């Protein structure tokens, strides 16, 4: 087993990878296809699926999650029509790896895409959500809005009929992103052309990400009626600009949802809205997301709507992870009509379909997440074998059980333990020394989880232009 503290898994011979890929493709070929799906006869029973991911969106800055300003009226409306998960968590606060996790139900150390610019590993046995849905005659499309998700880097484009990455906005001399007003009309147009369904549409919004712009018309927001819970020393101008980005994005999500209801049909469409990660806005002296695992960074919104199937106006308070997203979508859609469906590769997360239908509360579970610092230096792809194993170690690993949260830095050999019930803003951590029994016990548990799930690193696919684009977005120093 690979240890977090050192040592690296060597890449297996390519011939083994090729055989494994052939075997997986063969297994996918024999997935059961619903009777009549090929000619469209069964399409009326299959719901459309719309997945909306908003980059860098904090749950606690949405009015439906208790924020004191009305930043998100359209997202709030979606929550009132479906189920809102109070405590949803990303597996990693980095855009590329987080989305690969969402679409495969595997942690980053399992699929291999541990940092932005590195795709999943060929050695990992993965099934992607659109890959599964295409076997059931779903048309699939993705509209992404930032460089870390371009298909050449993530290879997610291989699993979509259309993968739109027309990034038209220039930042620091590079076209590295686009705005909500750019991506929404394109997604709506595709939906109109494919409204007969069934379709899977993923729309990614990047706008709340830095550099935060003060959006015209969204700079002064009304109060929501919720109490103002925080009274700290965060930069008020930064908060105002971030909130305006959230409200601006929400405005265009409203336009997208209006088109979904009109073109695809409310009762015929499962809608899921979430974020790849949150954002620290000055808490702990840090602005950003990729290098820490505090609640403002790892806790994300999660809202699911499907009238008649998903209970409306429900707040689910049990903890869930975005690793659970793909198995839940598969359970709620495909297994409703095909209860005996078996996939050739098991999914890693837990489906929470029963909770969506208003069933018994989810059992308490441990939530885990981690993040990686990135490579110390970037070299051409053909020299990637020169990377040191130290780059594969997590920067931080964390777990949350009940209100007890443990954060461990394998590289820094330090630990922070929080009681979120008494200290929800994580201001007073316990910091056990390395020689204590608590430190040794917690590191052993986290080490065991990481060793059990860890696989080969993914492939570096970055060119010099990719490096500059990621630098322009603040992902690289």
Q: How confident is the model at residue 232 (pLDDT cuts 50, 70, 90)?
A: low
Burial of 86 (0-12, 13-18, 19+ CB in 10 A): middle
| pLDDT over 90, % of the chain | 65
Q: How confident is the model at residue 411, as a pLDDT?
A: 86
pLDDT at 22 over 70: no
Give the helix/strand (H/E) hosting 88: strand 83-89
Task: Determine contact, residues 162/460, Cβ cutoff 8 Å.
Answer: no
Q: Could you tell me whether strands 199-205 and 367-372 are parallel, antiparallel, or unpaired per DSSP bridges? A: unpaired
Mean pLDDT of the 150-173 span: 88
Kindly compute the dihedral angle of the four CA atoms of residues 77, 364, 347, 276, in this order, to the nearest 10 degrees.
40
- pLDDT-derived band at 231, boundaries 50, 70, 90: low
**Stretch 84-110: mean pLDDT:** 96
CA distance 454 to 198: 35
For residue 444, the model assigns a pLDDT of: 95
CA-nearest of 333, 161, 190 to 260 is 190
Residue 93 has pLDDT above 90, yes or no: yes
pLDDT at 14: 34
Q: What is the spatial distance between Cα 288 and Cα 243, in angstroms, rounded to a whole number?
A: 15
Is the pLDDT at 443 greater than 90? The verdict is yes
What is the residue whose two structure tokens read 């690793």?
Answer: 323
Helices 73-81 and 236-259, interaxial angle, to 10°? 50
Beta carbons within 8 Å of 189's beta carbon, 6+ residues apart: none
Q: Is the pLDDT of residue 227 over 60?
A: yes
Would you state the pLDDT for residue 196? 87
| Contact indicator for 94, 109 with CB cutoff of 8 Å | no
Q: What is the pLDDT of residue 388?
A: 37
Indicate if the pLDDT at residue 461 is higher than 80. no
User: Is the alpha carbon torsion for 411, 415, 419, 423 positive or negative?
Assistant: negative
Look-up of token digits 């929404």: 184
What phi and psi, each to the nearest 5 degrees, are found at residue 70? -85, 80
- Counting Cα atoms < 13 Å in the Cβ hemisphere of 78 gives 33
DSSP 51-75: EEEETT--GGGSGGGT-SB---HHH
Round to whole Å and give the CA distance between 72 and 219: 13
The stretch 279-285 carries a mean pLDDT of: 92
State the pLDDT at residue 377: 43
Pick the CATH number of 16-356 from 3.40.720.10, 3.30.470.10, 3.30.1490.190, 3.40.30.10: 3.40.720.10
* pLDDT tens digits along 174-210: 778 899 999 999 999 999 999 888 999 999 999 999 8
Answer yes or no: is pLDDT of 435 > 90: yes
Delimit the domains of the chain by residue range: 16-356, 367-472
For 262, residues 6+ apart whose C-beta sits below 8 A from its C-beta are: none
| Dihedral in degrees, nearest 10, Cα atoms 24, 159, 349, 145 | 160
> Is the peptide bond preceding residue 277 cis, with omega within 30 degrees of 0?
no
pLDDT of residue 389: 43
Is pLDDT at 362 greater than 90 in this prediction?
Answer: no
| Torsion angle in degrees (nearest 10) through CA of 121, 122, 124, 127 | 110
Selected residue with higher pLDDT from 464 and 434: 434
- pLDDT over threshold 80, residue 361: no
| Average pLDDT over the chain, rounded to an integer | 85
What pTM was estimated for this model as a whole? 0.87
Residue 39 has pLDDT above 70, yes or no: no
Q: What is the mean pLDDT of residues 221-242?
A: 88
| Residue 33 pLDDT level (bands cut at 50, 70, 90) | very low
pLDDT digits (tens, 9 = 90+) for 373-426: 865 444 444 444 444 344 578 999 999 999 999 999 998 899 999 999 999 999
Does 8 have pLDDT greater than 70?
no
Which residues touch 59 (CB under 8 Å, ≥6 apart)?
Answer: 65, 88, 275, 278, 299, 300, 301
Q: Which of 282, 338, 319, 312 minimizes the C-alpha distance to 401?
A: 319
- Of the candidates 83, 111, 87, 88, which has an alpha carbon nearest to the alpha carbon of residue 99? 111
What mean pLDDT comes out for the span 166-177? Answer: 78
The one-character DSSP state at 287 is E
């Amino acid at each position: 087993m690979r240890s977090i503290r050192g040592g690296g898994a060597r890449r297996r011979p390519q011939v083994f990878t090729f055989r494994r890929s052939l075997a997986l493709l063969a297994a996918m070929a024999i997935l059961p296809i619903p009777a009549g799906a090929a000619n469209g006869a069964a399409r009326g029973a299959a719901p459309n699926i719309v997945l909306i991911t908003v980059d860098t969106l904090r749950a606690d800055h949405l009015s439906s999650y208790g924020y004191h300003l009305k930043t998100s009226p359209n997202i709030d409306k979606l929550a009132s029509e479906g189920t809102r998960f109070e405590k949803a968590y990303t597996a990693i606060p980095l855009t590329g790896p987080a989305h690969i996790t969402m679409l495969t139900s595997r942690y980053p150390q399992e699929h291999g895409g541990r940092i932005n610019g590195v795709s999943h590993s060929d050695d990992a046995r993965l099934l992607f959500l659109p890959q599964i849905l295409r076997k059931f005659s779903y048309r699939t499309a993705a509209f992404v809005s930032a460089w870390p998700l371009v298909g050449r880097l993530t290879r997610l484009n291989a699993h979509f009929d259309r993968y739109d990455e027309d990034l038209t906005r220039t930042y620091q001399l590079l076209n590295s992103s686009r705005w909500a007003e750019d991506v929404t009309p394109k997604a709506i147009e595709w939906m109109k052309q494919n409204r007969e369904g069934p379709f899977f549409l993923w729309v990614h919004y990047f706008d709340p990400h830095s550099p935060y712009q003060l959006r015209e018309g969204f700079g002064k927001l009304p109060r929501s009626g919720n109490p103002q819970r925080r009274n700290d020393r965060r930069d008020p101008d930064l908060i105002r600009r971030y909130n305006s980005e959230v409200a601006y994005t929400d405005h265009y999500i409203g336009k997208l949802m209006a088109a979904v209801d009109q073109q695809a049909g409310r009762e015929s469409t499962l809608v899921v809205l979430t974020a790849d990660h949150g954002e620290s806005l000055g808490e702990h002296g840090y602005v950003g997301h990729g290098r820490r695992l505090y609640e403002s960074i790892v806790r994300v919104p999660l809202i699911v709507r499907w009238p008649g199937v998903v209970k409306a106006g429900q707040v689910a308070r049990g903890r869930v992870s975005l690793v659970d997203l793909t198995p839940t979508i598969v359970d709620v859609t495909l297994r409703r009509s095909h209860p005996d469906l078996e996939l050739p590769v098991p999914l890693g997360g837990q489906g929470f379909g029963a909770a969506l239908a208003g069933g018994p509360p989810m059992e308490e579970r441990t939530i885990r997440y981690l993040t990686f610092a990135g490579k110390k230096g970037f070299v051409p792809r053909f020299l990637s074998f020169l990377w040191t194993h130290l780059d594969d170690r997590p920067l931080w690993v964390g777990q949350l059980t009940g209100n007890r949260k443990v954060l461990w830095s394998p590289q820094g050999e330090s630990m922070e333990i929080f009681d979120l019930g008494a200290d929800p803003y994580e201001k007073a951590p316990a910091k056990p020394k390395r020689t204590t029994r608590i430190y040794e016990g917690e590191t052993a548990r986290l080490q065991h989880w990481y060793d059990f799930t860890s696989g080969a690193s993914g492939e570096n696919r970055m060119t010099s232009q990719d490096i500059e684009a990621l630098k322009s977005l603040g992902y690289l120093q």
